[in-house]
Amino acid sequence: MTKRFGLTGLLLALCLLGTGVPALADTAAGTATLVTGHVSAATPAGEIRDLIKGGEVYPGETIITASASYVNIAFSDGGRVLLRPETRFAIERYQYAGAAAGGQGQPAQQESAFFRLLKGGFRAVSGLIGHTRRDDYGVQTPVATIGIRGTDYEVRYCSGDCDDISPAPKDGLYAGVQSGAIALSNSGGQTTTTVGQYVFIAGAGNAGVPLALRPPALGPQPLPDPKTCN
């Protein structure tokens, strides 16, 4: 337990202090503004490269953090994602035209950000994508798909691997919201979670269960604000 608190404290200090190789596309989805420990990016073909501070990430890549390792990614639409240790986070589809888009209404057609959490967890602050059309943004997890409502939120998926917590939490998805709201949907229904609320979803067929207190799986306090991790 002491080791976990020490790592979180070190990360917070680095965040407050305020040359990747193109893999799949000419246009990067974002840039790593903070890297601690060992972080890598893998293509669907299985090619793996180390990710360093200032390195770019691309649509189609899966970002992997090792033990005691963190990475903060600043996406081109202004969104941020701070990944926990031992996380696998896939950038399944990302398109952002921004100021380069031409024609009224065209940006909404070109903007999309779809991710997949395969393992671990993160804290995210949404950017411009999804604020006009909510269907343009989503994060798929093993038990539910997350949609946003102008949001700063955190999630963690436990599957027999949250052994940094004692006693070990139940397997499933834990989520909490710092601002805005998220909608978690699966075959069990949809649960909307707003500021200061927490929810647990045990499986893909289970409805969300509101939690009265912050779950230990998310840690005693939120991860540092991704907007400050530079």
| DSSP per-residue letters across 16-52 | H-------S-SS-SEEEEEEES-EEEE-TT--EEE--
User: Hey, how many other C-beta atoms are within 10 angstroms of the C-beta on 36?
Assistant: 19
Q: What is the pLDDT along the chain (230 residues), one digit of tens a residue?
A: 444 445 555 565 556 554 334 444 578 999 999 999 999 999 988 999 999 999 999 999 999 999 999 999 999 999 999 999 999 999 999 999 875 555 554 444 579 999 999 999 999 999 999 887 888 999 999 999 999 988 999 999 999 999 999 999 999 999 999 999 999 999 999 999 999 999 999 999 999 999 999 999 999 999 999 999 88
Contact 197, 210 (CB under 8 A): yes
pTM of the predicted model, to two decimals?
Answer: 0.86
Please give the CATH number for the structural domain made up of 2-95+112-228: 2.60.120.1440
Q: Is the dihedral of CA 102, 106, 109, 112 positive or negative?
A: positive
Q: Is the dihedral of CA 198, 199, 200, 201 positive or negative?
A: negative
The two three-digit tokens of residue 8, written as one number: 């979180």
